[in-house]
Amino acid sequence: MAKDHGAQIKDDGLYEELRKQGNSKEKAARIANAKANGSLDHRGTQLEERTKADLLKEAREIGIAGRSKMDKAALVKAIRGRR
């Protein structure tokens, strides 16, 4: 059973596992909370399986220049280069 890390940590078990892997407290909390609220799931899928519109949205969020002129393969390559 995972220790209760307070209301700010939404998935205590995942938080503890991430800390054991060497992640900082802040990073472990961000990942555990994102996973708990469902906002982390889409990024776990293969980029090639996602739609071009979804790739364009992510490219915009991370600030990839020239994304509107890229085809799907170029978007995948650019996003991988920024992760």
Q: What's residue 3's pLDDT?
A: 76
Average pLDDT estimate for 39-51: 72
Span 42-64, average pLDDT: 85
* Structural domain total, the chain: 2
Same domain, yes or no, for 77 and 61? Answer: yes
Residues 10 and 37 in one domain: yes
Res 76 pLDDT > 60: yes
Q: Are residues 39 and 13 in the same domain?
A: yes
What pLDDT is stored for residue 14 in this prediction? 85
Same domain for 1 and 36? yes
Residue 55 shares a structural domain with residue 27: no
33-37, 42-46, 48-52: segment of lowest average pLDDT: 42-46
Same domain? For 13 and 30 the reply is yes
pLDDT at position 6 is: 72
**51 pLDDT band (50/70/90 cuts)?**
very high
Instruction: List phi, psi (to 5°) of 15.
Output: -55, -50
Helix axes 72-82, 52-62, angle to 10 degrees: 40
In which domain, by residue range, is 35 found? 1-44
Contact 2, 13 (CB under 8 A): yes
Count CB-CB contacts under 10 A for residue 47: 17
Distance, in Å, from the CA atom of 20 to the CA atom of 17, rounded to the nearest integer, reads 5
Average pLDDT over residues 39-67: 84
**pTM score, two decimals?**
0.48
